[in-house]
Structure formats: C-alpha cells, structure tokens
Amino acid sequence: MPTIVTIAAKKGGVGKTTTALHLAQYLGNRGPTLLLDADEELRSAMDWFEGHDGYRGWTFSAAPYHELTQNEQLADGMTYLVLDTRGGEDREALVQLAQQSRLLIIPCKPEGVSSKGLIRTLEPLIEHGVQNYRVLITDVPSAPSMDGLNLKYALKEQGIPVFETMIRRAAAVGKAADEGVAIRDVKGDRYAKLIGMDYDLFGQEVLSHVQ
C-alpha cells in the first residue's frame, strides 16, 4: 500500500498546491510517487504539472483524483500518493481525509485571515482526537518581519504540531506556476534555489513523520 500524504486547509490560497507539487517532487526522488489533483474544477496542480512544453524536471506522475476512483490500478507500484485537495472541506471531510492518510499537512500563511482559517481547520481534528496532522507555515516574509516565527511559536505553545521548516516568500513561486516548472528550475531568480531548499528540508521532515 502506498503512503498517502494529503494537503488540506479550510482557507483557500494558503499554498496547498505549491506544497503538494514540491512534496511530490521530493518524494519522487525517493520512490515512485503519484500526485492526485482533487481540485477538479481549477486543475491548478495539473496545469502546473503539464505547463511547460518540453520540461522534463518532474520526478513524479500526476492525475486528476477521479481517475484513481475509476481505475485503482493507477496507484499500483507507487510508494507515495500526494493528494492536493480543493480546500474549504467541511469538518467531517477534514477528519475523513486525515483518517485516510498517513499524514495530513495543513499549510497556513502567517497573516490574520489565514490563521483564523487554520483554527477552523484544526477544531474538528482536535475534537475527533486526530493526531496525524502537522501545520506548514508558508509564504513567510523575510526579516525584519517576525510573522512566521511568531506564528510557529504561538502554535507550539498551544501544543499544535508544526513543521520546523517554514517556506519563505518569493516571487519565484508564482513564476514557477506560470512557467509550469519546479521552483528550483525558475531561471534568473536567485531566490528560486532557496525556496527549492525550503521544500527539500520540509520533505525531509515529512519523511521522518511517515516512516
């Protein structure tokens, strides 16, 4: 059975798709990995994956989620499945997603609205005694802003599991999505490699939690 890692959050635009692609990229270097795009209307992950003519940098394969429900053999031989969700799932759906996964990753940007969305995401998980989730802080503004660290320590103080690695803010993320390439392969942007490294460190942490 493949190890299933799901990326979900009640709030939209918090970095789910960016995280799903780059986690799949990291895991794809370690074992056969399939990224499933459950956001069938927007197809953001599929668009990014298919985006750039001739780009051969991806280390994983990708498919819309419904293709797996139609053909379970799609997951045959996979070591990892990474599920990019639509966002805005209701309480029961969030609990179910966690129960179906080895790890549920909840991205959150360090700004007020996202943090409120985070509380709404966490409530049903905590109520149901779900333990296999962890928050990833994304789009972290650079120093002198302390927003990322402040959120990390606030979560820790409340006993909420949070990844040590935070994903820094960089325009390379948007460029990578536009170009349909992995962030580290964005040309002419010196921050691209740094954000690629953030996602590698995060991938290492994910592995330590699913093994």
> Which residues form the interface with ligand ATP (CB under 6 A)?
12-18, 39, 44, 87, 138-139, 167, 169-170, 173-174, 177, 195
Minimal distance, residue 56 CB to ligand ATP, in Å: 22
Q: How far apart are CA 152 and CA 161, in angstroms?
A: 9
Q: How far apart are CA 80 and CA 2, in angstroms?
A: 5
34 φ/ψ angles, rounded to the nearest 5 degrees: -120, 125
Minimal distance, residue 210 CB to ligand ATP, in Å: 21
Out of Mg ion, ligand ATP, none, what residue 169 binds, judged by CB under 5 to 8 A for its kind, is ligand ATP
Between residues 12 and 31, which has the closer beta carbon with respect to ligand ATP?
A: 12
Number of residue whose CB is nearest ligand ATP: 12
DSSP E strand boundaries for 24-163: 33-37, 61-64, 80-84, 103-108, 133-137
Instruction: Find where tokens 């995060």 sit.
Output: 202
* 165 three-state secondary structure: coil
Out of Mg ion, ligand ATP, none, what residue 15 binds, judged by CB under 5 to 8 A for its kind, is ligand ATP
Minimal distance, residue 42 CB to Mg ion, in Å: 7
How many positions of this chain bind Mg ion (CB under 5 A)? 3
Q: Would you say 183 and 192 are in contact if contact means Cβ atoms under 8 Å apart?
A: yes
Q: Is 10 in the site for Mg ion (CB under 5 A)?
A: no
**Residue of 27, 29, 37, 39 lying closest to 3 (CA atoms):** 27
Q: Exactly one of 3, 6, 17, 19 binds Mg ion (CB under 5 A); which one?
A: 17
Instruction: Find where tokens 């635009």 sit.
Output: 13
Residues 93-132 that bind Mg ion (CB under 5 A): none
Name the residues that contact Mg ion, by CB under 5 A.
16-17, 44
